[in-house]
């Protein structure tokens, strides 16, 4: 089955282009702003937008995303409201929409129900950061049956053979974690990242999207010299949190980041 995410990456490759993948926490500071951010990302030329589902127990999330999720939870955001927000804007944007969500939330809803609701709302895929390769089979089957993708994470410490297996279990793209530890903007990317991406590129043709610490146009440039897309999360949230006009600040940064695409 041809997924929207597959089509997006196929189009990028056909044009010898690379993708920007911003991350926003749904409901921070509110869902109306979230919708506006997704529209702004689309206008800025982002290929895919990751939408984080607020969760009280962080999974490798650094201070910026933890605080963002707590603000959303404090504002009363829930899964149903996120689905409604996406449903209301899906026809307005062409970029891909991927849900970054703890599998415990999915389990609580029930896998089939969650996937069906996400598909109906207009999501194109999932990232389950706490779902292991060994447990991913049912989720991958459910997502594929609904026409959605499922991306798993490859860490810096993942052995190459296991990374190959993870990539084979992914659809859409592989989420490559740039550095060990938690999320957060960094001054520089790990010097060994480029070589690691080249090795991964040799064992899989699935698109590679790199996150954790990507925060500047030059990071985007360096990452997409080898990978297919750069994921920016904490840096966007930090910029919004310190700005008098958060939406404008995020919009400006999206355009800056897009300028770094290889």
Domain definitions of the chain by residue range: 4-258
- Residues 195-211 as b or e (16 or more Cβ within 10 Å = b): ebbeebeeebebbbbbb
- Hey, what are 135's tokens? 């447990």
Which of 28, 61, 222, 238 is an active site residue?
61
> Cis bond leading into 29, ω under 30°?
yes
211/192 Cα distance (integer angstroms): 15
What pLDDT is attached to residue 1? 54
Catalytic residue list contains 50: yes
DSSP-based three-state secondary structure for 250: helix
d(C-alpha 230, C-alpha 236), whole Å? 13
CA angle 33, 92, 19 (to 5 degrees): 85
Of 50, 117, 124, 228, the catalytic one is 50
How far apart are alpha carbons 239 and 145 in whole angstroms?
Answer: 38
Match 């921070």 to its residue by tokens.
28
- Please tell me the predicted confidence (pLDDT) of residue 183: 47
Q: Of all helices (H) and strands (E), which one includes residue 238?
A: helix 234-241
Which secondary structure element, helix H or strand E, spans residue 209, and what is its range?
strand 208-211
Q: pTM value?
A: 0.92
CB atoms within 10 A of CB 249: 17
Distance between CA atoms of 244 and 188, rounded to whole angstroms? 27
pLDDT tens string 66-111:
899 999 999 999 999 999 999 999 999 999 999 999 999 999 999 9
Q: Name beta bridge partners: 145.
A: none
pLDDT of residue 113: 98
> Can you give the pLDDT at residue 65?
87
185 with 68: CB under 8 angstroms? Answer: no
Average pLDDT value over all residues in the chain: 92
Q: Is 112 a catalytic residue?
A: no
Q: What is the CATH number of domain 4-258?
A: 3.20.20.70
Positions in the chain short of pLDDT 50: 181-186
């Amino acid at each position: 089955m041809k997924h929207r995410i597959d089509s997006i990456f196929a189009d990028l490759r056909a044009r010898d282009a690379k993708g920007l993948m911003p991350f926003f926490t749904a409901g921070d500071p509110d869902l109306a702003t979230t919708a506006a951010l997704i529209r702004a990302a689309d206008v800025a030329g982002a290929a895919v937008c990751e939408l984080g589902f607020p969760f009280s127990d962080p999974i490798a999330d650094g201070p910026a995303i933890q605080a963002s999720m707590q603000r959303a939870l404090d504002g009363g955001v829930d899964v149903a409201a996120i689905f409604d927000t996406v449903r209301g804007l899906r026809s307005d944007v062409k970029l891909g929409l991927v849900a970054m969500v703890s599998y415990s939330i999915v389990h609580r809803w029930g896998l089939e129900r969650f996937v069906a609701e996400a598909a109906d709302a207009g999501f194109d895929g999932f990232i389950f950061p706490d779902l292991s390769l060994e447990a991913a089979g049912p989720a991958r089957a459910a997502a594929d049956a609904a026409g959605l993708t499922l991306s798993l994470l490859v860490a810096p410490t993942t052995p190459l053979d296991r990374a190959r297996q993870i990539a084979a279990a992914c659809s859409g793209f592989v989420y490559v974690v740039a550095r060990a530890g938690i999320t957060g903007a960094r001054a520089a990317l790990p010097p060994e990242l480029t070589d690691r991406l080249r090795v991964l590129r040799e064992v899989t043709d699935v698109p590679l999207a790199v996150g954790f610490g990507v925060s500047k146009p030059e990071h985007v440039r360096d990452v997409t010299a080898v990978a297919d897309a750069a994921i920016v999360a904490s840096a966007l949230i930090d910029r919004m949190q310190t700005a008098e006009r958060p939406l404008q600040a995020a919009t400006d940064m999206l355009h800056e980041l897009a300028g770094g695409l290889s």
